[in-house]
Structure 1
Amino acid sequence: MFLNKKFIASLATAAALTGVGFVATTQATPQTFIQEAKADSWINNYIADNNIKPVSITYTEGTFNKWIPYENGVGKPEGVVVHETATPGATAADEVSYFNNNWPTIQTYVHAFVDDTQILNIHSADYGVWGAGPTANAKYIQVELCEVSTTDQFARSVSNDAYYVASKLIQYGLPVEYGKTVVSHDQTSKMYGETNHTDPTGYFAKWNYGMDQFVALVNTYYNQMKSGTNAGGNNTGNNGGVDNGAVGSVLVNNPSSYATPLVAFQNDGSTKKSNRGLANNSGWYTDQQKTYNGHTYYRVSTNEWVMDSYATYTAK
């Protein structure tokens, strides 16, 4: 299952990218679509005509235990690499199960898998993974699109995939730039010469689709999310009191323990203790603040926050 496709992609990655740490994210709102993409696609038209909406992103922790900073630092990817799995009929859940069980052997892992019904994010996009060769791994978030068998399934799967890409570009303050912030594995193979994969070009071609049309769809969702129009999935939960512009850093310390505690905010606005913590006297990038029960919380991961009692905040 996908060994041939993926094994070569990650050779020497462990040596090329090392790092330890935790997670930090960004969620700024930036700029524009620079390269014109071909929006007149029968698949994109099918999505619009049938009012197909992307599903929500499901965040679940995978088994990949490498926390590898990007070349520009933790929480600073430069874009997204679009893959496809080359395993017809396997669902996103199937692929997640396979990768979680086999990544130490196949030496490959990605951030997310997408099919026609699910978007499963299994590793923090604040850190690199092993999917497209050392150079691309150090730069990009990576998402795998599952192969489906009907037109409707394909339309729904690329809708979900484009939504995931758009949401990550917005999260990390990146514009939509075809060939720069949105790239295929085929393109990274040509750019860096470290892999020989051509996905998703061949799979897209089976549906008379192309990366230019896919990027047009990404741009549609990107603009909808930036303007506050509902693009589909709802991944925010209860954000009461969130300041999205609070970009900076926090120095954390818990005098009563070896680690600084973290909490997650639940949909009802209450907090739940995380099973992970931050090393004392370590600094973390933060992009959001939330007020709860008289305390300010600083976001250092997708939904993990440190309380002001343990943090010294410095604005960027």
Structure 2
Amino acid sequence: MVSKKKIMTSVATSVALASIGFTTVGQVAPQLGSNVQTTKAATSAINDYINNNNIQPVSITNEEGTFSYWNGYENGVGKPEGVVIHETATPGATARNEVTYFNREWSNIYTYVHAFVDNNEIINIKNTDYTVWGAGPTANAKFVQVELCEVSSTDAFARSVANQAYYTASKLVQYNLPFTPGVTVMSHNDVSKKWGETTHTDPVGYFAKWGYSMDQFYDLVGKYYNQLKGTTNGGSDSGNSTDNGNVINVANSNGSFVPLVAFQDDGSVKNVSNRGLANNTPWYTDQVKSYNGVEYHRVATNEWVDASYIK
């Protein structure tokens, strides 16, 4: 049986997947997605494991739980601003165990989240058009919230984070939200630091146990986000660039991968030396910039592709 949860909050406030991914450059292991800080994500053994073993997320099971509050977000019903990532801190408890526990005990522990994820299941127990009690009053009024169950093997961990990343991406797409790490996808640790209403640091410590990080998780979310967007237009994060909202197909006729660049603080571009896009793959792009007469399309947080590679 699971223990009392670490995410106590105030009662008062309450698919078919496309084949897509990064390719390897030099000695860096292949990466799986976009929207991530490159230097950290490039060392992810877990993401490599998911990629190399062709691990696919499971489908989302929706079953309404017992949480009886039906409050809209601060912007209204069906208008969340992103997703908060939790972990349960209960080793060995499955998503089904957690669902049973929370449905029985939420009125005593004053805590509830939208979904639980393990290596076998994604169980959504609260309509995500409405708020839950998981991360403090401010975050509760803004975010969908999902808990990752603690597992005991590398394979189970890889499958569980793939499921959690897929759930996260699916909610961003469902609500037409951009994928902006640290803004539309936040850890509970991020929430604690930003608003100071809780002191929890999950899932950082649990991720570290597996040599994993939020940056590497963002990479995985980016992969599924791009896959799920398909030809669906979506929003973009703010900036000085043009919102282009579409899907591009890229290929390099003179090489085995499509190179990327990153924009520097002075507006210039620098080659991304350890990552590239696989030839003949589709990518969602939301912004366009120009430098020295060259047009670049954004495919990740600060990773851009020269328009000459667009088919």
* Superposition TM-score, scaled by structure 1 size: 0.64
3-state SS of 2:61 partner: strand
Q: What letter matches 1:96 in structure 2?
A: V
3-state SS of 2:12 partner: helix
Structure 1 residue 6: deviation in Å? Answer: 2.4
Structure 1 residue 118: deviation in Å? Answer: 0.1
User: Do 1:108 and 1:130's aligned partners in 2 also have CA atoms closer than 8 Å?
Assistant: yes
Instruction: State the alpha-carbon separation in 1 of the partners of residues 160 and 150 from structure 2.
Output: 9
Instruction: State the alpha-carbon separation in 1 of the partners of residues 137 and 179 from structure 2.
Output: 23
Instruction: State the alpha-carbon separation in 2 of the partners of residues 185 and 85 from structure 1.
Output: 11
Aligned counterpart, 1:262: none
Aligned counterpart, 2:72: 69
User: Do 1:162 and 1:217's aligned partners in 2 also have CA atoms closer than 8 Å?
Assistant: yes
Q: 2:12 aligns with which of 11, 15, 31?
A: 15
For structure 1, which runs of at least 5 residues remain unmatched after alignment?
A: 18-32, 229-316
Report 1:204-219 matches (<5 A): 204-219=207-222
Give the number of equivalent residue pairs: 210
Establish whether residue 172 from structure 1 lines up as the match of residue 181 from structure 2. no
Aligned counterpart, 1:133: 136
User: Do 1:35 and 1:177's aligned partners in 2 also have CA atoms closer than 8 Å?
Assistant: no
3-state SS of 2:222 partner: helix
Instruction: State the alpha-carbon separation in 2 of the partners of residues 86 and 103 from structure 1.
Output: 17
Deviations 1:21-54, CA, capped at 9 Å, x for gaps:
xxxxxxxxxxxx6664543211001000000000
Instruction: State the alpha-carbon separation in 2 of the partners of residues 3 and 183 from structure 1.
Output: 23
State, as a whole percentage, how many aligned pairs show the same letter. Answer: 64
Instruction: State the alpha-carbon separation in 1 of the partners of residues 178 and 125 from structure 2.
Output: 24
User: Do 2:13 and 2:140's aligned partners in 1 also have CA atoms closer than 8 Å?
Assistant: no
Report 1:82-121 matches (<5 A): 82-121=85-124
Report 1:21-40 matches (<5 A): 36=37, 38-40=40-42
Structure 1 residue 209: deviation in Å? Answer: 0.2
Aligned counterpart, 2:23: none
3-state SS of 2:151 partner: coil
3-state SS of 1:6 partner: coil
Aligned counterpart, 2:187: 184
User: Do 1:2 and 1:85's aligned partners in 2 also have CA atoms closer than 8 Å?
Assistant: no
Instruction: State the alpha-carbon separation in 1 of the partners of residues 207 and 35 from structure 2.
Output: 23
3-state SS of 1:16 partner: coil
User: Do 2:36 and 2:216's aligned partners in 1 also have CA atoms closer than 8 Å?
Assistant: no
Instruction: State the alpha-carbon separation in 1 of the partners of residues 188 and 137 from structure 2.
Output: 13
3-state SS of 1:152 partner: helix
Aligned counterpart, 2:57: 54
Instruction: State the alpha-carbon separation in 2 of the partners of residues 76 and 35 from structure 1.
Output: 25
Deviations 1:169-196, CA, capped at 9 Å, x for gaps:
0000011111000100001001000000
* Superposition TM-score, scaled by structure 2 size: 0.65
Instruction: State the alpha-carbon separation in 2 of the partners of residues 128 and 80 from structure 1.
Output: 11
Establish whether residue 159 from structure 1 lines up as the match of residue 157 from structure 2. no
Deviations 1:86-119, CA, capped at 9 Å, x for gaps:
0000000000000000000000000000000000
3-state SS of 2:197 partner: coil
Q: 1:149 aligns with which of 148, 152, 157?
A: 152
Q: 1:196 aligns with which of 196, 199, 214?
A: 199
User: Do 2:36 and 2:215's aligned partners in 1 also have CA atoms closer than 8 Å?
Assistant: no
Instruction: State the alpha-carbon separation in 1 of the partners of residues 152 and 77 from structure 2.
Output: 38
Establish whether residue 44 from structure 1 lines up as the match of residue 53 from structure 2. no
RMSD: 1.5
Structure 1 residue 154: deviation in Å? Answer: 0.2
3-state SS of 1:15 partner: coil
Q: What letter matches 2:12 in structure 1?
A: A
3-state SS of 2:41 partner: coil
Cα distance change on mapping 1:216 and 1:34 into 2, 3 Å: closer
Aligned counterpart, 1:5: 6
Deviations 1:260-284, CA, capped at 9 Å, x for gaps:
xxxxxxxxxxxxxxxxxxxxxxxxx
User: Do 1:70 and 1:138's aligned partners in 2 also have CA atoms closer than 8 Å?
Assistant: yes
User: Do 1:189 and 1:197's aligned partners in 2 also have CA atoms closer than 8 Å?
Assistant: yes
Structure 1 residue 4: deviation in Å? Answer: 5.0
User: Do 2:189 and 2:201's aligned partners in 1 also have CA atoms closer than 8 Å?
Assistant: yes
Aligned counterpart, 2:84: 81
3-state SS of 1:143 partner: strand
3-state SS of 1:5 partner: coil
Q: What letter matches 1:3 in structure 2?
A: K
